[in-house]
């Protein structure tokens, strides 16, 4: 199933002009720490000779396994900036490692699937509409395997930051981190944390929660409700805080309205989306599946303007990431998908006895030359055992070579799913489409 999902995502990404890359698994600690409060997630590496002496070396100077694919992308862009055409659109599907407690849907080693667009100096806002729509399109293709409908929930960090500053709060990053916990611990607990850890009073904490609860069907309604909220809490329209918030609001309204013209309902404004990492500077996204609230977000990301730089030159970007292993786990256990094939072969060529193995190999090679995946039985066991072997691997056809298929008979092939057996020629036979298109399952 995982390979099928990977193939589907890659196909959609490339259909939209994204270029595939691969980056090394090991990064310098200083690069890994660019994303903010992530040191507890990083698996650091040590040579055997260094065991016991690790504390003598700062994390920034050590090597570690990458915990996402965006930080390595920033290094890749800087190193290859002279060779890349900007805006650089890339997809990347690789393993990542995180030091978190394993549980259902969460792994220490897993596959992540990313798309990003990185600009040179600047990056047009229209990419902040394009990327969530590409992801929705990719996830839509997976509905054939039982995945529910996906919706992207969008917010903007400038909108949130401006509002918080307008309330008189200075620990913006702290407020964002606590608001990001709303779905996990609820409004009452978040309000307590805002007071205890972010210096907010009860009125300020309540206002932050009011912003998080704000919803709207379109950009115009969003703007109207936000202005009313600012007025209610004394945030003046001519203040710097309001102007910052307004920048984010205008971008968010544009994203929601433009996305609605292309794919209605695919992207909605949701002001409780915070993405509590200081890595993001503008739009932020979380993606949820209908009827799967307990799963949480399956795809997240946002706009980042300061992650990659080279001297005075900045490489702003916007990206989205799917925890692919987590998604596949959900599909197998909850969404009705199932693993039906072990082998990618469509045909198992039987072997009557070891002396006839060369003839079976010739048949298999003829089928492979025509693009039909074929395997040859590992031993010249009884025919029933060879058929059982094919069935265990999910191979739907068993091919019987002519010389031992019966007096005067030519080659025959048996569909062990339907039981049908027919005459066949390796130069012209084709499997039924339903079996030919099945792919290997892990």
* Binding positions: 68-70, 98, 112, 116, 275, 279-280
- Find where tokens 């080659």 sit: 411
Q: How many CA atoms lie within 13 A of 94 on its CB side?
A: 21
Q: Strand, helix or coil at 163?
A: helix
Closest to 95 in 3D by CA, of 64, 59, 134, 65: 65
Extract the annotated binding site for L-histidine. 68-70, 98, 112, 116, 275, 279-280
Q: Strand, helix or coil at 45?
A: strand
Element (H, E) at 114: strand 109-118
The token duo for 424 is: 């066949």
Element (H, E) at 356: none
26-28: strand order across its sheet:
26-28, 63-65, 44-45
Please state, in angstroms and rounded to a whole number, the distance separating the CA atoms of residues 72 and 93. 12
Handedness of CA 210, 211, 213, 214 (dihedral sign): positive
- Find where tokens 């079996």 sit: 435
Please state, in angstroms and rounded to a whole number, the distance separating the CA atoms of residues 350 and 382. 10
Please state, in angstroms and rounded to a whole number, the distance separating the CA atoms of residues 29 and 32. 5
Quote the distance between the C-alpha of residue 187 and its chain's center. 28
Please state, in angstroms and rounded to a whole number, the distance separating the CA atoms of residues 181 and 275. 9
Please state, in angstroms and rounded to a whole number, the distance separating the CA atoms of residues 364 and 349. 7
Please state, in angstroms and rounded to a whole number, the distance separating the CA atoms of residues 90 and 12. 12
CA distances from residue 406 to 279, 352, 403, 409 in whole angstroms, order as listed: 71, 12, 7, 5
In sequence order, the β-bridge partners of residue 283 are: 156
Please state, in angstroms and rounded to a whole number, the distance separating the CA atoms of residues 76 and 87. 14
């Amino acid at each position: 199933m995982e390979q099928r999902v990977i193939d589907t995502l890659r196909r959609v990404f490339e259909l939209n002009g994204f270029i595939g890359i691969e980056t090394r698994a090991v990064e310098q600690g200083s690069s890994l720490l660019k994303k903010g409060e992530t040191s507890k997630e990083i698996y650091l590496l040590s040579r055997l000779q260094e065991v016991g002496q690790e504390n003598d070396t700062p994390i920034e100077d050590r090597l570690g396994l990458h915990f996402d694919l965006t930080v390595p992308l920033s290094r890749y862009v800087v190193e290859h900036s002279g060779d890349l055409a900007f805006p650089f659109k890339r997809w990347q599907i690789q393993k990542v490692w995180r030091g978190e407690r394993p549980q259902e849907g969460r792994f220490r080693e897993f596959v992540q699937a990313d798309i990003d667009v990185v600009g040179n100096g600047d990056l047009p806002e229209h990419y902040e509409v394009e990327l969530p729509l590409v992801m929705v399109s990719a996830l839509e293709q997976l509905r054939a395997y039982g995945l529910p409908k996906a919706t992207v929930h969008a917010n903007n960090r400038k909108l949130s930051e401006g509002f918080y500053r307008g309330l008189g709060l200075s620990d913006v990053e702290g407020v964002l981190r606590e608001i990001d916990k709303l779905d996990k611990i609820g409004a009452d607990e978040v309000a307590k944390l805002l007071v205890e850890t972010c210096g907010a009073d009860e009125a300020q904490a309540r206002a932050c929660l009011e912003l998080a609860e704000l919803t709207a069907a379109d950009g115009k309604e969003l703007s109207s409700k936000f202005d009313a909220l600012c007025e209610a809490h004394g945030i003046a329209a001519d203040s710097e805080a309001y102007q910052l918030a307004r920048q984010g609001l205008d971008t968010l309204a544009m994203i929601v309205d433009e996305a609605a013209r292309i794919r209605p309902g695919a992207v909605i404004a949701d002001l409780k989306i915070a993405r509590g990492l200081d890595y993001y500077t503008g739009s932020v996204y979380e993606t949820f599946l209908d009827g799967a609230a307990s799963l949480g977000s399956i795809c997240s990301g946002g706009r980042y303007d300061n992650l990659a730089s080279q001297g005075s030159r900045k490489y702003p970007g916007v990206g989205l990431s799917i925890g692919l292993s987590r998604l596949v786990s959900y599909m197998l256990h909850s969404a009705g998908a199932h693993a039906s094939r072990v082998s990618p072969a469509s045909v198992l060529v039987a072997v009557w006895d070891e002396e006839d193995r060369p003839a079976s190999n010739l048949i298999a090679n003829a089928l492979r030359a025509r693009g039909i995946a074929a395997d040859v039985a590992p031993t010249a066991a009884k025919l029933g055992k060879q058929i059982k072997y094919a069935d265990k691997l999910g191979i739907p056809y068993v091919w019987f070579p002519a010389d031992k298929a019966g007096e005067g008979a030519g080659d025959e092939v048996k569909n062990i799913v339907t039981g049908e057996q027919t005459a066949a020629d390796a130069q012209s036979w084709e499997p039924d489409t339903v079996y030919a298109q099945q792919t290997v399952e892990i």
